[in-house]
Amino acid sequence: MSVTATQKRGLGSAIWDYLTTVDHKKIAHLYLAGGGLFFILGGIEALLIRIQLMKPENDFVSAGLYNEIITMHGTTMIFLAAMPLLLGLMNAAMPLQIGARDVAFPFLNSLGFWLFMLGGILLNCSWFMGGAPDAGWTAYAPLSTTSPGHGVDFYILGLQIAGAGTLMGGINFLVTIINMRAPGMTYMRMPLFTWTTFITSILILFAFPALTIGLFLLMFERLFGAAFFDVSLGGNAIIWQHLFWIFGHPEVYILILPCFGVFSDVFSTFSRKRLFGYTAMVFSTIVIAFLGFMVWAHHMFTVGLGPVANTIFSVATMAIAVPTGVKIFNWLATLWGGRITVNSAMLWSLAFIPSFTIGGMTGVMVATVAADYQYHDTYFVIAHFHYVIVGGTVFGIFAGLHYWWPKMFGRILNEALGKTAFWLFFIGFHLTFFIQHFLGLMGMPRRYWVFLEDQGLDTGNLISSIGAFFMAAGVIIFFINIIYTAAKGEKVSGDPYDGRTLEWSIASPPPHYNFKQLPLVRGLDPLWIEKMEGNGKMTPAEPLGDIHMPNNSFIPFMISFGLFIAGFGFIYHNDNMIGTIAMFGGMAIALLSMLTRSVKDDLGYHISKEELEKEAE
């Protein structure tokens, strides 16, 4: 009934609905759409890089434009594609997995999304306003402080706004998991994806503030004449590197840990077995997160921190291989003896294990200080981090999308298209990046615009570029699959995989209140327990009653929009009056919207028991 009502309301009100929604399931759609859009942009940038490097001394793009493309490729993929796609999966699945009706702060959830989206748009506006940032995604000072034009300013303001949104997301998930678990859902009964969401949120909470301050310092330096990184006034450029990597290293665990959660759930579901070594999996996640804060200087081995500091950070880095290894073996042991179904979600997960292990192995190699002097800033490092970020995070996102797509939309992605996309992408991925290890070892530096003929780099680069097109083809087929599924996809029940966790105990897509009655959880894999020992359905933990729901709100969009305008203002306030006006005007819009939120009572509404009973008929 509600579906037909939605269709009748027309496009205008559907857009308004998404602009004002505070429902975590719809915010998940927004994150996936926004992240998907930026993933395409970042992918196009990647293709441009590989076309430029297809042959020696190519002149496909100019040197300056090349710098902008590599900077935007890295920044877009990390901040605007991978993170929001993961936040989308978390929003879609985590509250359902713990048996919650909503997240703790629905308003902040919406605000977090709009800050990310408008921050990302602000960053990409730079393409049309005098050039994109060109100081690399790491924006090292003094390159970033002296880069002419406004490119780097867009980087600073765009990331500042998007980063604030991510921080809110982190706090929101933490409180949701601590305060809103269903009766019986103890910490050690939470699905691994919920656990990794929890740990990731802690990392977000403690890592992003360092980036916030780094960006503030850079902004003060470029736009307000401060001297943090200016050696002539006593500044020190290394401060930026420290702040960036104090954030940046936990960030890579922010990207990979949620995917570990996805794989754990997928392996366990499609092996029809309880996850092997659940407790060890939880604790290894915690250990990875803990160690993740103590290794940032391994990105700075060649800076000259001295042998003592380098050694400490080297040892700490290598230690991370231990809990990660524990995880790899637990996944293998989960598969061992299981009744395995190989579908698209499972293919991405199975492919992850060897791909990521290669990335982990090269990680230990680059963690070796003496050897790192050889690898540093070469294609070896490029190959390493693409093996972990693509082989880990991107594979994880695809696995998660295939796994939860039916839960989110009620239709299952087409398997034939899904498998084709996987094989194209998988082959392309290894073609592109495996050869780059050797290009790096032969001395090809990263970020170079051209390379010379006959230095042994020609064939390797050509192979790498061909691989990139395979990956692009895989992504295109995945998007075709989405369109095909939306139009003609097979409709599925609430539990298409014979699932184990709570999200499969409710309809697909779930009603907006998720659980009519909160479920009573009796152990790990609660739905499976009911299937084995009960009647296959969750036992309600409460009688049917009124359900409290939050109100929709347009204020999150307004706050983000105000900051978006103010962002332009900060960038241009030194150039002209309009910039100054935008700076104050934008801040006024943002602050007044916040004040409105603060003074207006918003108690939400109730869905009455009678309505719930009627809907059941």
Partner 1 sequence: MSHHDVLHPETLPAEPEKATLEGRNKYLGFWFFLGGETVLFASLFGTYISLRNSTADGPSAHDMFGLDLVFIMTILLLTSSLTSVYAMYHMKNNAFKKMMLWLGITGLLGLGFLSLEIYEFTHYITEYGFTFRSSAFGSAFYTLVGFHGGHVTFGILWLASLMIRNAKRGLNLYNAPKFNTFSLYWHFIDVVWVFVFTVVYLMGKVG
Partner 2 sequence: MTDNANTNNVVDEYQKTKNKEELKGHLISFAMMIVATLIAFGIVASGVMGKIYAIPVLVLLAVVQVAFQFYYFMHLKEKGNSMTALLIYGGIWAAALTVTGLGAITWW
CB of 603 to partner 1, least distance (A): 5
In the beta sheet, which residues pair with residue 120?
none
CB of 236 to partner 2, least distance (A): 6
The span of 4-12, 108-116, 266-274, 293-301 binding partner 2 (CB under 8 A) equals 293-301
Contacting residue, 51, 226, 294, 612, with partner 1 by CB under 8 A: 226
CB of 266 to partner 2, least distance (A): 29
Question: 378, 353, 349: which is closest to 365 by C-alpha?
Answer: 378
> What part of residues 165-184 is at the interface with partner 2 (CB under 8 A)?
174, 178
Interatomic CA distance for residues 575 and 516, integer angstroms: 57
Interatomic CA distance for residues 479 and 474, integer angstroms: 9
> What part of residues 586-605 is at the interface with partner 1 (CB under 8 A)?
595, 598-599, 601, 603
CB of 223 to partner 2, least distance (A): 23
CB of 108 to partner 1, least distance (A): 8
Q: Return the number of other C-beta atoms located less than 10 Å from residue 535's C-beta.
A: 8
CB of 238 to partner 2, least distance (A): 5
Considering the complex, state which of residue 206 and residue 423 has its C-beta at the smaller distance from partner 2: 206
> What part of residues 93-152 is at the interface with partner 1 (CB under 8 A)?
104-105, 108
Place of tokens 């989308």: 88
Interatomic CA distance for residues 295 and 385, integer angstroms: 15
Decide if 258 contacts 396 (C-beta within 8 A).
yes
CB of 294 to partner 1, least distance (A): 14
61 is a contact residue toward partner 1 (CB under 8 A): no
User: SS3 sequence, 438-480?
Assistant: HHHHCCCECCCCCCCCCCCCHHHHHHHHHHHHHHHHHHHHHHH
Token pair of 387 as six digits: 């093996």
Contacting residue, 65, 175, 286, 321, with partner 1 by CB under 8 A: 175
> What part of residues 79-138 is at the interface with partner 2 (CB under 8 A)?
none
290 is a contact residue toward partner 1 (CB under 8 A): no
CB of 309 to partner 2, least distance (A): 5
Decide if 142 contacts 229 (C-beta within 8 A).
yes
220 is a contact residue toward partner 2 (CB under 8 A): no
The span of 14-22, 44-52, 68-76, 177-185 binding partner 1 (CB under 8 A) equals 177-185
In the beta sheet, which residues pair with residue 605?
549
The span of 30-38, 111-119, 297-305, 439-447 binding partner 2 (CB under 8 A) equals 297-305
CB of 176 to partner 2, least distance (A): 13
b/e 475-510 (16+ beta carbons within 10 angstroms → b):
bebbeebbeebeeebeebebbbbebbbbbbbbebbb
Token pair of 371 as six digits: 């050897």
Question: 483, 353, 466, 351: which is closest to 417 by C-alpha?
Answer: 483
Vertex 349 angle, CA 344 and 350, to 5°: 95
306 is a contact residue toward partner 2 (CB under 8 A): yes
Residue 297: name its binding partner from partner 1, partner 2, none (Cβ under 5 to 8 Å by kind). partner 2
230 is a contact residue toward partner 1 (CB under 8 A): yes
Specify burial of residue 148 (Cβ count, 10 A radius: 0-12, 13-18, 19+). Answer: exposed
Q: What is the dihedral of CA 131, 160, 245, 331, to 10 degrees?
A: -100
293 is a contact residue toward partner 2 (CB under 8 A): yes
543 is a contact residue toward partner 1 (CB under 8 A): no
Interatomic CA distance for residues 352 and 62, integer angstroms: 36
SS3 367: helix
248 is a contact residue toward partner 1 (CB under 8 A): no
Residue 371: name its binding partner from partner 1, partner 2, none (Cβ under 5 to 8 Å by kind). none
Considering the complex, state which of residue 293 and residue 479 has its C-beta at the smaller distance from partner 2: 293
Interatomic CA distance for residues 236 and 305, integer angstroms: 14
> What part of residues 228-247 is at the interface with partner 2 (CB under 8 A)?
236, 238-239, 242-243, 246
Considering the complex, state which of residue 203 and residue 571 has its C-beta at the smaller distance from partner 1: 203
Which residues of this chain interact with partner 1, rule CB under 8 A? 104-105, 108, 167, 171-172, 174-175, 178-180, 205-210, 212-214, 216-217, 220-221, 224-228, 230, 232-236, 239, 242-243, 246, 548, 595, 598-599, 601, 603, 606
